[in-house]
Amino acid sequence: MIYCYKKARYVLLGAVSTSLLLTACSEPQSIDKQVSIPAVESKDILSLLDFETPEQLSNIKLENVQPVFVNSENGVTQGKQGLRLNIQAKDNYKTSFSFAPKNSWDWSAYGPFKVALDIANPETISAQIYVTVADGKGQTHNRSVIVPKQSNGTYTIELAGGDLGLETGIRSNPKSVDDSSIPVTWRWGVKQLDLTQVKSIKFSMTSLLHDRALVIDNLRLIEGNDYSLDNLTAVVDEFGQNINVDFPIKVNSLEQLLANKAEEEKHLDGTLMADRSKFGGWKEGPKLEGTGYFRTTKIEGQWSLVDPEGYLFFSHGIANVRMSNTSTITGYDFDKSLIKQRDKNDLTPEDSKGLNTISGPAIQTRHVSSSLRSNMFTWLPSYDDPLANHFGYRRSVHTGAVEHGETFSFYRANLERKYGESSPESFMDDWQQTTLNRMNNWGFTSFGNWIDPSFYAQQQVPYFANGWIIGPFKTVSSGNDYWSPLPDPFDPVFVERARVTAEAIAQEVNRNPWCVGVFIDNEKSWGTTSSVSGQYGVVINTLSLTDAESPTKAQFTQLLKDKYQDIVSFNKAWGTHFEVWQELSNGILVTEHSAAMIDDYSMLLHHYASQYFSVVKAELKRVLPNHLYMGVRFADWGMTPEVVRAAADHVDVVSYNYYKEGLQKDYWKFLEELDMPSIIGEFHIGATDTGLFNPGLVHAEDQADRGRMYQDYMHSVIDNPYFVGAHWFQYIDSPLTGRAYDGENYNVGFVSVTDTPYTEMVEAAKKLNTSIYPRKFKDLKSD
């Protein structure tokens, strides 16, 4: 027997109807119908808020949300009323509703359990919600979910039991088959909180482009599930797709794959849109000076790129068009002594490497290193199979079930199946030309970052080169070094490695005018604006080091000496009691922050960041003087004001990776003061209707919704006078079982793992790209 919620009471349903109910309750339900919302047996429920009395609002913190109690709308699932939340997007970057008791919740006595909330969306567009659960130790547990348009359902956050203690190498695991609720997708933070002191549960929406309304009811705890490994067994078919999910573009046979190829090629000729110049600029607009390379200009209040011939140019394209992230960990490994290890002078991080194919005696030592991983696949080739050339190896991973191991690229294997192989790797040449034709036919003006260098010389689509500065230089820490610690740019070794990187990029680019510019490094953990220690972590942590061990610390000490001249003045400003400057040189621990100290932190952080960008700019311009320096692509969680201003002093275009619904105007007001050409280096929207377990960082309800949201995002960029482009991340869906480096398993491609385009996305792109230039430069059309 199981329970479902009706409008005003629990209703016990007999065992005969159980299977039908589970089917009905497994997805959000249309609010046009009176439907049940799933629940569990009443003994497993702890009611937290039922929204029956106005007094309960005292336990709810609202941020830019207007609450209204309702008793007649769908979404009221228990008792007489629920709470409608009206959210206005125009003037509010952040909106949220939080549940916080006067005293922390203690849920440590419960077994596997979830927080559950009934949510209805009466609007005609979907709504993505971020969820943050915080404990008394300052730890947070972060998730997100999409609430489809005109739907209602029970959404759950697992906090104990389930798969929380299971590392699978997949960002989001398959849902348990016996789970009738809608799980909120894991994002980041601490999976296992201190359940003796749960401080709050916050539901938030940020950077909205459209108003929203939600009806919520019945916040409670429900019994959780023991996660069965059967959910992870035999989930991948021979083409790398979800074996348990059917969807319109799913490939079920080689014949179907070849038929899809033939049908696409009938309409794929690589022809540019009619208003495009040779380089993709706007030939119907004003013609400016052509320098033979891309440059920037400001015209009639709008920042713009200018193509080599002098036409206005807006860079819209797809990033990460390469094979590096198409491989997934198989669960097999080899004798480590037979694996070639990384060269200390390597310029390419492990996740940007190719296959790293294993050969020779090592193959004979192949063994299962993780049965959890190896059992996910229904098919992998043997090493004497023609498709074995798509095996590879990762010598290290960022996160996952194993620390290193064999990989396989289903995408590459599907390319060989699709195009055949008349000579070694010839299918890659066919794929490359198909990709170039797609970019032009779909109306994109360029590629984005991380394009396979084999595209550079083709001179059919403008591109951006890229590189990383890695090596044995010293580092500093912001306190949240997600990908890696920050470089110490005052270390001479950093300068040497920057020079080597710039020279390698210059050799690949070879002064090619089709190269718009160069991105160096990516999403570095500069700090966050959430707190003083978050914003100035680089400074605070570096101050604890000695001058002798840290070149950056030595710089900080000297700057403070120069500003204050004597130790007495410094002590007065900082509230310290040092007798000599040597005490500062030896390293100090800072735990309290006065206004004077924060002013100095700001000065020191800007000095640090300026050194980084000035070193990179100098080395890049020395070898590529005619190409644009595009910066470091700030993550939205790592773009503190001091670092952004430092970048603006040295780069040609400031770049941001921004994963939200779109560009909410208030958040980007700082661009007015900065007054620099800017570009979105990454954004995406994904869904789960094609079998992937995780939609990506921004959710849509299905492929059609992806197309709508993609267009909305791009309109917000095009309409902003400071932006000169935006790049979608990425060309190919992540592997179903997670990319080898860190388990990303997102539906964010324009093409699936079988290299089949998503029709809804392609049509949305064609329509959007046709309108880019008339919309962006509507008052500049040439006579």
Order across the sheet with 446-447: list the strands. Answer: 446-447, 315-319, 723-729, 678-683, 654-657, 634-635
Residue ranges of the chain with per-residue pLDDT less than 50: 1-26, 32-43
Whole-number pLDDT of residue 481: 84
In three-state secondary structure terms, 657 is strand
Structure tokens at 65: 């949300």
Give pLDDT tens digits for 433-478: 999 999 999 999 999 999 999 999 999 999 999 999 999 999 999 9
Q: 295: closest CA among 282, 280, 307?
A: 307
Q: 412: closest CA among 396, 394, 426?
A: 426
Query: Which residue reads 């696949």 in tokens?
Result: 377
Give pLDDT tens digits for 644-670: 999 999 999 999 999 999 999 889 999
Structure tokens at 82: 């629920």
CB 452 within 8 A of CB 776: no
Whole-number pLDDT of residue 28: 66
Q: How many CB atoms sit inside 10 A of residue 678's CB?
A: 26
Domains of the chain: residue spans and CATH: 2-232 (2.60.120.430), 328-408 (no CATH)
Query: Which residue reads 């960041």 in tokens?
Result: 609
In three-state secondary structure terms, 762 is helix
Cα 75–Cα 79–Cα 81 angle in degrees, nearest 5: 55
Length of the chain: 783
Burial of 702 (0-12, 13-18, 19+ CB in 10 A): middle
CB 320 within 8 A of CB 731: yes
* Alpha-carbon 246 to chain mean position: 26
Q: How far is Cα 232 from Cα 176, in angstroms, rounded to an integer?
A: 9
291, 296, 299, 301 alpha-carbon torsion, rounded to 10°: -170
Structure tokens at 664: 């909410």
In three-state secondary structure terms, 475 is strand
Q: Which residues, other chains included, contact 58 with Cβ-Cβ below 8 Å and sequence gap of 6+? A: none
Whole-number pLDDT of residue 679: 98
Structure tokens at 443: 């109306």
Cα 598–Cα 601–Cα 607 angle in degrees, nearest 5: 150
Q: Which residues, other chains included, contact 697 with Cβ-Cβ below 8 Å and sequence gap of 6+? A: 144, 187, 659, 684, 686, 746
